[in-house]
Amino acid sequence: MSALSVILVFLGYFLLLSFLGTAAEYIDRKLYARMQNRIGPPWFQPYADLIKLAAKEDLIPEEANSAMFKFMPVLAMTAVLTAYLHIPLWNSTPLISFNGSIIVIVYLLTIPTLTFFLGGWHSTSLYSMIGAVRTLTQLFAYEVPLLLAVLSPAVLAHTWSIADMSEFYSNNPLYALTNSIGFLVALVALQGKLERVPFDMPEAETEIVGGTFTEYSGRLLAMFRLAIDMEVIVGASLIAAVFLPFGLHFGLVIGVILYLIKILFILLLLALLRTVTARLRIEQMVVFCWKYLAPAALAQIFISLTLNWIVK
């Protein structure tokens, strides 16, 4: 591919992902509102929020490290977008595919969390710093269960490439059903990664105002918001590709519709989780992740290994 076409593809994916991300934000907010017996925002609300933020002045605290402060939102968005290029959407072939791509995706999805930490830390506000420390503490809690949950289907499929994995499961759809524990673990861990209730301690407004984003404003905050919206889609796509690899061989139109249905289903589960729970304390979250999520993910790996042994 020539340099120009790479740039164009990247730009196209950026537009697609930001459209899907804002749509996901709208759907999530609407679902959340309807489940709470409210009317909820109109469809253009995420765009209105972004435009309004983009029109505002960027304020950078005097004490803050200006370069890091400005760079972090860009890095967050880039990392999320790059992860999206590796995930298969409506068929089993992503744009970039190689053996080991699933590790790269999980790694790339860790970068936004680190940028939240660094951005919060470098803005030197006390609220931001407490939020930043919580972000990092939380990362150590949900990252291992998420990785274990995503890897156990790979163990069963004998491959580290997400494309080959999708291929394997769409040829043997019954195998995908054995990964249901991993699916639930990954959903809960994704909720932690997206920092939403019950795991929204890093930005708990009643405790630490805006958390890591307290000092961010204007375009920089808009970029962070967009990055989080995109992360919802990328996370949901990853779970859909790994745990719901059904109907990948019906061509573009049906494939895209099925892809959207899967994403909507995952969004619904995430919104439901955030409607019915209260925010946990940070130490309760760590205990929950290590006491229940990690063993459940290990059990999933054990199931995959046993199946491997039986099938052989």
291 binds other proteins (CB under 8 A): no
**How far, CA to CA in Å, does 242 sit from each of 85, 164, 184, 192, 282?**
15, 11, 12, 18, 29
Q: Is 209 in the site for other proteins (CB under 8 A)?
A: yes
Between residues 63 and 205, which has the closer beta carbon with respect to other proteins? 205
Instruction: Decide if residue 229 touches other proteins (CB under 8 A).
Output: no
Residue 207 engages other proteins in binding (rule: CB under 8 A) = yes
Of the two residues 219 and 279, which places its CB atom closer to other proteins in the complex?
279
DSSP reduced 3-state for 306: helix
Report the nearest approach of other proteins to the CB of residue 52 (Å). 20
Q: Which of 203/229 has CB closer to other proteins?
A: 203
69-128 residues near other proteins, rule: CB under 8 A: 126-127
Q: Is 34 in the site for other proteins (CB under 8 A)?
A: no
Which one of residues 111, 133, 144, 307 is an interface residue with other proteins (CB under 8 A)?
A: 133
Residues near 208 by beta carbon (within 8 Å), at least 6 away in sequence: 127, 130, 131, 134, 214
**Six-digit token string for 158:** 């004998």
DSSP 167-183: HHHHHSHHHHHTTHHHH
How many residues would you count in the chain?
A: 312
Percent helix, strand, coil in the chain (nearest 5)? 75, 0, 25
Given the complex with other proteins, which of 9 and 205 has the nearer CB atom? 205
Q: Which is nearer to other proteins, 5 or 36 (by Cβ)?
A: 36
Question: What is the full DSSP assignment across 256-290?
Answer: HHHHHHHHHHHHHHHHHHHHS-PPPPHHHHHHHII
**Residues in contact with other proteins by the rule CB under 8 A:** 35-38, 126-127, 129-130, 133, 197-198, 200-201, 204-209, 275-284
